[in-house]
């Protein structure tokens, strides 16, 4: 579990470093103001960094390479989270396979996001977002159920609920924008920033929890060994007597 924890934290570190590089090198332009200079934390989406051409029409060579790599690192980290998270609630045997299957489907959908910059393939980008987001939301709900049932992971369950709520709000506003059309309101990119921030916090919390979790098989082995040791001690004590 500690190896998984390190892999998740590594994916987060790679994502943040590459995204910071993309933001610093972004020429400019938002959906509301194509003439804006640089990357605007409140008005730009992370996906705006994907295109070879920025929204202001200038070349975006650094972001076009760094942003897909950043998203790939993040999505792989999310996929690993879905795979290892059921170890936090081993008694809920029905939840683990469901979370892993839904999480795997979600990961496959999200892998298409870096390949479909919204400025070039808006409809495909939206399709990939919902294809990956839907199963991920269901996996999130099931994870909260499992985490809430274990006393040691109550805090992680509450954090998961907050993160899921932020993501649901962001997805809902995105769906509304697709239906209404036109330039997105300021609330949409802000909601996406908030959802991304809580996603990163949640993944970090899961990684830290994995650092202290032990595989169920190891715990079972220790339990059996403890019983055997206890039986051996009792037998030895009876022999001495």
pLDDT digits (tens, 9 = 90+) for 25-67: 999 999 888 899 999 998 999 999 998 999 999 999 999 999 9
Do residues 55 and 28 touch, judged by C-beta distance below 8 A?
Answer: yes
In this structure, of 137-146, 199-208, 227-236, the range with the lowest mean pLDDT score is 227-236
pTM for the full model?
Answer: 0.84
- pLDDT tens column, 75-111: 999 999 999 999 999 999 999 999 999 999 999 999 9
DSSP string, 87-142: GG-TT-TTHHHHHHHHHHHHHHHHTTGGGS-TTT-HHHHHHHHHHHHHHHHHHHHH
Structure confidence at residue 234 as a pLDDT band (50, 70, 90): very low
Question: Using a CB cutoff of 8 Å and minimum separation of 24, what contacts does 29-35 make?
Answer: 29/54, 29/55, 29/56, 29/57, 29/58, 30/55, 31/55, 31/183, 31/184, 32/183, 32/184, 32/186
């Amino acid at each position: 579990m500690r190896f998984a924890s390190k892999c998740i934290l590594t994916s987060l570190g790679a994502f943040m470093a590459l995204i910071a590089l993309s933001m610093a090198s972004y020429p400019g332009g938002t959906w509301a103001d194509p003439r804006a200079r640089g990357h605007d934390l409140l008005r730009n989406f992370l996906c705006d960094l994907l295109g070879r051409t920025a929204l202001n029409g200038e070349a975006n060579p650094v972001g076009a390479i760094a942003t897909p790599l950043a998203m790939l690192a993040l999505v792989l980290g999310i996929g690993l989270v879905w795979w290892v998270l059921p170890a936090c609630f081993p008694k809920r045997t029905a939840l683990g396979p469901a979370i892993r299957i839904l999480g795997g489907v979600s990961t496959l959908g999200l892998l298409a996001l870096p390949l479909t910059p919204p400025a070039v393939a808006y409809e495909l980008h939206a399709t990939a977002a919902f294809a990956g987001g839907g199963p991920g939301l269901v996996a999130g709900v099931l994870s909260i159920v499992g985490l809430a049932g274990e006393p040691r992971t109550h805090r992680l369950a509450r954090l998961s609920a907050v993160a899921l709520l932020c993501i649901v709000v962001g997805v809902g506003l995105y769906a509304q924008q697709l239906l209404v059309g036109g330039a997105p309101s300021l609330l949409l990119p802000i909601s996406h920033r908030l959802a991304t921030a809580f996603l990163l916090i949640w993944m970090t919390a899961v990684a830290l929890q994995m650092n202290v979790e032990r595989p169920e098989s190891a715990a079972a082995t220790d339990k059996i060994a403890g019983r055997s040791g206890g039986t051996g001690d009792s037998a030895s004590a009876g022999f001495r007597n």
